[in-house]
Structure 1
Amino acid sequence: MANLLDVKNVTKRFGGVVANNDVSFSIETGQITGLIGPNGAGKSTMFNMISNVFQPTVGEIWFEGKRTDLLPTFKMARLGISRTFQNIQVFKNMSVLENVMIGLHSRTSVGMIAAAFRMPKTKKEESFMYEKAIEYLSFVGLHEMADTVAGSLPLGKLRLLELARALATEPKLLLLDEIAAGLNHQETAEMGKLIQSIRNHNITILVVEHDMDLVMSICDKVIVLDQGEKIAEGTPKEVQNNERVIEAYLGTSDEEEVSV
């Protein structure tokens, strides 16, 4: 199976603080990969480098054979990389439908002048955006709330809305940042099924997540960071039985299996 993303010997320093130290791993096309670790492990920093919010101090990040860490952040969606945020970022005064239509703008070609004068091409693309936005809302189960003001949605629905907007860019790689944060048990289980369904639509997924039950149930591969370094990589079962992982989470080297 071909690699979609390659992180090569990446180090990130913030002044004298080393957030990631010489980290390398690959994400294979068609897989769900989990990135986990204790608090302060460097997960969020790595996630932000992959999505090009930060640039590595040392090392390189490659996507589909192209180096991406030197590119402007705004080019990531057109390359095929989209993300959600742990702290939900939606336009609260806009409708659910309008939020998803914003995600579709990266796929349109109408310029400002054409839009201002409501030229025929503009109307055609607006119709396309509307239909596609409804399609993505239907996929996540929010189509009946299309006209609802986003700011009135409960947390679980907001997570689904942000997911629909990310999917609207038609990503090849979807980055999910704590997608289950704040969800109850039932909502988390439903989110897990939805993530697996997304993978079945030929979208590769990287999940940064604290909910270990979710990670272990949906991921094909799990990468573990601790204090900025990669300490383990493998299947969920292999990671659960890895002594370095057990020590990182529990501070013990006992040989019993733990649910990390």
Structure 2
Amino acid sequence: MSSTSPSRHSIQGKTVLIAGGAKNLGGLLATDLARHGAKAVAIHYNSAASKAEADKTVAAVQQLGAQAVALQGDLTTAVAMEKMFADAVAAVGRPDIAINTVGKVLKKPMGEISEAEFDEMDAVNNKAAFFFLKEAGRHVNDGGKVCTLVTSLLGAFTPFYSSYAGTKAPVEHYTRAAAKELGVRGISVTAVGPGPMDTPFFYGQESADAQAYHKSAAALSSFSQTGLTDIEDVVPFIRHLVSDGWWVTGQTILINGGYTTK
């Protein structure tokens, strides 16, 4: 390899699949990886409500010179997950990088959570994450990178988020297991747990008092414009993990400015 050739762990020329890639953190990841040389990005979105944003992200990725396609699907069944990966492979080829940003938050006392609400949280945060890793193991190229979004609440001692943090918690073990199973193929597998992020995902659940608390809880809050975790601060870490940071595997990294620690 010449000194001017891209590293085998660089993003240059790689194919990317992002579940939940239409907007917020997923959308920024799509454009960021394209800007850093990805040749193709498959952008999943959940429903018709996100189609316009998915199309906008596709256009932004294409403007950066990469191929892009939007794929719609509710990923809470194994069949739907299989279809998303199959559709991505048919459209842009086997992924070198697979990132799952899909998640659902519920802030509610345990005593008020219905079985239907728990089942929905479990399907989105737990079941979908498991089958994403399963299909990534089947479809990601050797030497590839896989990353799943979890939450910094995995390091918190707090009420009201039992169904959110609880259904994200299994992903830590799935990540370790997948890293062991796929390591023989040179595939690294990580999980990233951002702190409360400055996106609609956060504001839809929190009262004004809770927002004020979260905006002051991180050690570095006073040095942030919002006091929260900005998606622009998370993206470089994920970019590193799915490129030159490949030697980190089987771990959950909390990116939160000192909001929680393990």
More strand by share: 1
Higher relative contact order (CA 8 A, sep 6+): 1
Q: Same fold (TM over 0.5)?
A: no
TM-score calculated relative to the size of structure 1 = 0.34
Higher helix share: 2
Between structure 1 and structure 2, the one with the greater Rg is 1
- TM-score (norm. length: structure 2): 0.34
